[in-house]
Structure 1
Amino acid sequence: MDLLGYVKKQTGEFLEKMPKSIRKKKGQFFTSVETAIFMANMFDISNCKDEVSVLDPGAGTGILTIAFVNRLFAEKSNTSVNITCYETDADVLPVLQKNLAYLKNAFNDCVSYRIIEEDYILSQSNDFQENLLAAKNPEKYDYVIGNPPYLRIMRDNPAAIAMPKVVHGAPNLYFLFASMSLFNLKDNAEMVYIIPRSWTSGAYFKAFREYFLNVGKIEGIHLFVSRDKVFGAEQVLQETMIIKMKKTAEKPESVLITSTNSSSDFEDVSELRVPYDAVVSGEELYVYLPTNEADINVIKKINMYHSTMPDEGLKMKTGIVVDFRQWEELRKEPGENTLPLFYSQHIRDGRVNHQPSGKEYDWISDEKPGLIQKNKNYVFIKRFTAKEERRRLQCGVYSPSDFEEYEYIGTQNKINFVDKTDGGEMDAQTTYGIYALLNSTFFDMYYRILNGSTQVNSTEINNIPVPPVDLIKEIGEQVLLSEDLSTDNCDRIISEVAYV
């Protein structure tokens, strides 16, 4: 049996014996052979030395390392390889041992390996933090290939405590592994990792991005248009990407972005060479993931501005009422001391109404000031949309004159709203201008490139560059005059006024 066929068979037998429910609790998802081969082929081995070291943290059955070594010997037959695998799972360790022994036997004395049965993060966190217990010369590697555990952990988890430099908000083991792997690389060496794309934006991952994108630079990204292909039989629906990093301070001119649409055998790979600054941009070091020339054009056009909504005195906020926590304040019917409560279902065709939402409670008591807000001009936007929906940004103009009998209203937590930062009221032109931007194809495409989730994050919206407020007002005035809230009309107006 050929090498990868043997490993695939051993991995398949392990997966049959080990229930997915148990592996999921460990954050353990196994890479398909096709994905492992693709990852192995992402490395540049043109300047490979006669003797190289390879690290596979969280090695599982060893399929990634074996795919890489198999490729290495196919192209560089005179090379010798020293492999280091970290793995602590007692269930999978016998399979890893068996597979690496088979690898060594296939290539005789050209392969040596060791399996370290210690926690990958904790075993060398002193070196990463450079504290008094750090090794003077921590071990570094020529190549790192990895599929880290995907597991949220508490902030008091030992792994999170061990790496405060990259932790902000809710930690996940995958970005701790990625940070440590970059640390483990030799200068100008490469790593290829398969990770969720959630790290590319958002406040929780800011500290990680600052470390990851300053110590290293992105050289390649592979995107999976179909979420269910990357792990094959594992049926993982996480938005996942493969990233190739080089440990260097020197910024490359461009990043190669590849993508696959449907098959799991990587036969339909498309390629796009993207300027580095169109991929990594802004103070937040967001990572944009364009897949075609139209995406690149959108990034360039929106990034030509440098102010954000907060810079212009505007801010997107999240609705106040978390209904399952405030049952006592909710009401089924209007009445005395009762105000309309707005849900995402009330955003329809560019407007906000208060027709029955399908919820049991469409009203709220006015007795708690912290749960209500002034009845004034807003732009409402849905926080959650379905993956298959055509648009991610779905918004509507809230007009206080439609509810003039109320001084205050309530907004449920599954909507966002745009308001003035000083607590004042947006004029109509600004309101309609902000609506036009958020309702445009430009902004919807930009947000999709930035964020692969179905949640509209107010922090990310507040970091998107926008035209200055005088241009926003001009856009809004033209939308008002046209009385047309369609996306086509918004696109036409903002193209003429702001993105010529």
Structure 2
Amino acid sequence: MQSAVEQKRLQLSKSTEARTKSLLGQFFTPEKTAAFMASLFPDANGVCRLLDAGAGIGSLSAAFLDRWRGGGFHFRRVEVDAFELDRTLVSHLSQTLDTYSHRGDFVGNIHKEDFIHAAVDSLSGDLFSRPLDPYTHAILNPPYKKINSHSAHRLALRRVGIETVNLYSAFVALAAAHTAPGGQIVAIIPRSFCNGPYYRRFRDFILERTAIRHMHLFESRSRAFRDDDVLQENIIIRLERGGQQGPVMITTSTDDSFADLTSHEHPFERIVFPHDPERFIHVPTSPDKNAIELSRAIRYTLAELGIKVSTGPIVDFRLKTHLRDRPGSNTVPLLYPGHFTSSGTTWPIDDMKKPNAIENNPDTEKWLYPNGFYCVVRRFSSKEEKRRIVASVVEPSVFGAAPMLGFENHLNVFHENKRGLPEPLARGLAVFLNTTAVDEHFRRFNGHTQVNATDLKLMRFPSRSALVRLGTWAMQQGVLTQDEIDAQLRTLTE
């Protein structure tokens, strides 16, 4: 039977316009997910000070308090600080918290103010602000919304040493800053913070102040907030303020029913690799090491191989006047992901709804590469696609006498100083990148549909000679099956 809070959530999810949800970054937590999040906290006693920032209608606080009232915690008293900026939700939030007030051992404080500004003012010792006492617990489903680099939020966060690009990571960082030593934080947030340069400072902030105790991954990218059509891959994470880092519990489930929950404990060096300068956070879903971790032959950076990878430089809408649907005089091929399939390069394509060519002139020449063999990787995958990394080989013979090529922005291009690669090397890179082991390894730290050039730069590869051997083997075969590609990876040696 659904609780009153869950019934209200479903009603509001249906009645709230998508534009309003997007504007506020507001997505309410389903009841089963809230209960699971509350279950992750270790038992505790004494006095609890709980932070629920971005509280909405109080679903998370209710789940936490239900566990307490059911004997799952042994607190003498609980005080909740619930921050909610949306005035239309405050009455619902008040109703939720009031249901726990009848025994005299609970206080619910509702703060109708911006959590970021309140938390920053408290940390910075603003004379006109109300200081926030340290919290023993925090439970969060923070808003998902980008922060403009010159916004009031961004400037406020910089005052307390927090540099980040999204409200969700700002909320988690501020919650950590306001949590007492040993305090516990459980949050459901997009997995995008695990990798990429934009969240590097946030990862540093969290890893320096907290220990990661638990991470839960939903295997279906669209199921955590399915009532709100959220396609971002989400993760539930438990952090301990000031904790000594040890093993991390990883749990997975297909969706928010948690019916097929699996759990494995992993040493921290499998979560954050000891010598990774970017401190990517990996989420291994199996206790077994895959071929990438086990192989001593896969240990070279692209820089060590003399190979570069770049995002395709042509942003089509910025060069719109130079684009042509069909090749003609003074044009060169313009390549999109749609020009590549598992069977090779197809160009031009008449019904692709994208231009096939771009003029070669003084305004475009700086964006073009000489015709040759390249390895390309699509930057985006669809929401439930089997593979995250899809690599193809650019075959120069397809383009006839074209001297130059244009690579559109939705491709990552492997090259040697903006020139093509030897054919065996290009084909070897494609074979390696298309292995199941590489895709699985990549998914451990990449939680969104995008494959950035930065992510590819930080991967480890076989030696140049091993890649050439892979490419030479591929050139001697017909169409390769996934099993054949994966089997060939296992033959690599130093």
Residue 7, structure 1, aligned to residue 5, structure 2: yes
Deviation at 1:135, TM superposition (A): 9.2
Counterpart among 451, 454, 470 of residue 449 in structure 2 = 454
Counterpart among 25, 41, 54 of residue 43 in structure 1 = 41
Asked if the contact 2:431–2:474 (Cα under 8 Å) also holds between the matched residues in 1, the reply is yes
Counterpart among 100, 119, 122 of residue 117 in structure 2 = 122
Residue 195, structure 1, aligned to residue 189, structure 2: yes
Deviation at 1:401, TM superposition (A): 4.3
2:242 is paired with a residue whose SS is coil
- Residues 469/227 of structure 1: CA separation in 2 closer, same or farther (3 Å cut): closer
State the TM-score, normalized to the length of structure 2.
Answer: 0.90
- Residues 494/20 of structure 1: CA separation in 2 closer, same or farther (3 Å cut): closer
Structure-2 separation of matches of 1:476 and 1:232: 43
Structure-2 separation of matches of 1:7 and 1:53: 22
1:114-153 superposed Cα distances (whole Å, 9 cap, x missing partner): 222221111131454x578699986211111111111123
Answer with 60-69 or 354-363: which moved more.
Answer: 354-363
Match of 2:328 in 1: 335
Counterpart among 435, 449, 467 of residue 472 in structure 1 = 467
Deviation at 1:475, TM superposition (A): 2.8
Structure-2 separation of matches of 1:274 and 1:100: 37
Asked if the contact 1:479–1:493 (Cα under 8 Å) also holds between the matched residues in 2, the reply is no
Deviation at 1:470, TM superposition (A): 3.1
Asked if the contact 1:280–1:286 (Cα under 8 Å) also holds between the matched residues in 2, the reply is yes
1:361-389 superposed Cα distances (whole Å, 9 cap, x missing partner): 21221113123211122112222232333
What is the root-mean-square deviation of aligned Cα atoms in Å?
2.7
Counterpart among 263, 273, 280 of residue 265 in structure 2 = 273
Match of 2:78 in 1: 81
The count of corresponding residues between Structure 1 and Structure 2 is: 486
Answer with 153-162 or 285-294: which moved more.
Answer: 285-294
Deviation at 1:480, TM superposition (A): 3.4
1:121 is paired with a residue whose SS is helix
2:188 is paired with a residue whose SS is strand
Match of 1:308 in 2: 301
- Residues 353/267 of structure 1: CA separation in 2 closer, same or farther (3 Å cut): closer
Match of 2:423 in 1: 428
Q: How does 1:362-441 map to 2 (within 5 A)?
A: 362-367=356-361, 368-403=364-399, 405-420=401-416, 422-423=417-418, 425-441=420-436
Match of 1:26 in 2: 24
2:79 is paired with a residue whose SS is strand
1:276-298 superposed Cα distances (whole Å, 9 cap, x missing partner): 2212222211122222245x424
Structure-1 separation of matches of 2:116 and 2:171: 7
Deviation at 1:433, TM superposition (A): 2.0
Structure-1 separation of matches of 2:29 and 2:368: 49
1:79 is paired with a residue whose SS is strand
- Segments of structure 2 that go 5 or more residues without pairing to the other structure are none
Deviation at 1:461, TM superposition (A): 1.1
Match of 1:219 in 2: 213
Deviation at 1:177, TM superposition (A): 0.3
Deviation at 1:454, TM superposition (A): 2.4
Structure-2 separation of matches of 1:381 and 1:78: 53
Counterpart among 181, 186, 196 of residue 180 in structure 2 = 186
1:44-76 superposed Cα distances (whole Å, 9 cap, x missing partner): 11xx23222111111111221121122123134
Deviation at 1:13, TM superposition (A): 5.2
Asked if the contact 1:308–1:462 (Cα under 8 Å) also holds between the matched residues in 2, the reply is yes
Equivalent residue letter for 1:256: M
Structure-2 separation of matches of 1:79 and 1:302: 53
Answer with 273-282 or 191-200: which moved more.
Answer: 273-282
2:87 is paired with a residue whose SS is coil
Deviation at 1:466, TM superposition (A): 1.5
1:214-257 superposed Cα distances (whole Å, 9 cap, x missing partner): 211211111122344323633433211111111135221x2211
Deviation at 1:188, TM superposition (A): 1.9
Counterpart among 151, 174, 198 of residue 157 in structure 1 = 151
Deviation at 1:311, TM superposition (A): 3.3
Deviation at 1:355, TM superposition (A): 3.8
1:51 is paired with a residue whose SS is strand
Structure-1 separation of matches of 2:126 and 2:89: 34
Asked if the contact 1:377–1:400 (Cα under 8 Å) also holds between the matched residues in 2, the reply is yes
Deviation at 1:418, TM superposition (A): 0.4
Match of 1:91 in 2: 88
- Residues 412/75 of structure 1: CA separation in 2 closer, same or farther (3 Å cut): closer
Structure-2 separation of matches of 1:329 and 1:15: 45
Structure-2 separation of matches of 1:71 and 1:136: 30
Answer with 231-240 or 94-103: which moved more.
Answer: 231-240
Match of 2:225 in 1: 231
Structure-2 separation of matches of 1:32 and 1:376: 52
Equivalent residue letter for 1:261: T
- Residues 482/131 of structure 1: CA separation in 2 closer, same or farther (3 Å cut): farther
- Residues 193/366 of structure 1: CA separation in 2 closer, same or farther (3 Å cut): same
Structure-2 separation of matches of 1:404 and 1:279: 47
- Residues 350/219 of structure 1: CA separation in 2 closer, same or farther (3 Å cut): farther
Asked if the contact 1:302–1:465 (Cα under 8 Å) also holds between the matched residues in 2, the reply is no
1:66-98 superposed Cα distances (whole Å, 9 cap, x missing partner): 211221231345621122111222111111112
Asked if the contact 2:369–2:419 (Cα under 8 Å) also holds between the matched residues in 1, the reply is no
Match of 1:326 in 2: 319
1:113 is paired with a residue whose SS is strand
Asked if the contact 2:194–2:447 (Cα under 8 Å) also holds between the matched residues in 1, the reply is no
Asked if the contact 2:46–2:74 (Cα under 8 Å) also holds between the matched residues in 1, the reply is no
Match of 1:347 in 2: 340
- Segments of structure 1 that go 5 or more residues without pairing to the other structure are none
Structure-2 separation of matches of 1:402 and 1:7: 60
Structure-2 separation of matches of 1:82 and 1:196: 28
Match of 2:286 in 1: 292
- Residues 87/132 of structure 1: CA separation in 2 closer, same or farther (3 Å cut): closer
Equivalent residue letter for 1:399: E
- Residues 133/446 of structure 1: CA separation in 2 closer, same or farther (3 Å cut): farther
Equivalent residue letter for 2:446: N
Structure-2 separation of matches of 1:431 and 1:277: 32
2:475 is paired with a residue whose SS is helix
2:290 is paired with a residue whose SS is helix
Equivalent residue letter for 1:316: V
Structure-2 separation of matches of 1:347 and 1:71: 53
Residue 68, structure 1, aligned to residue 61, structure 2: no
Structure-1 separation of matches of 2:477 and 2:359: 38
Match of 1:490 in 2: 485
- Percent identical: 28
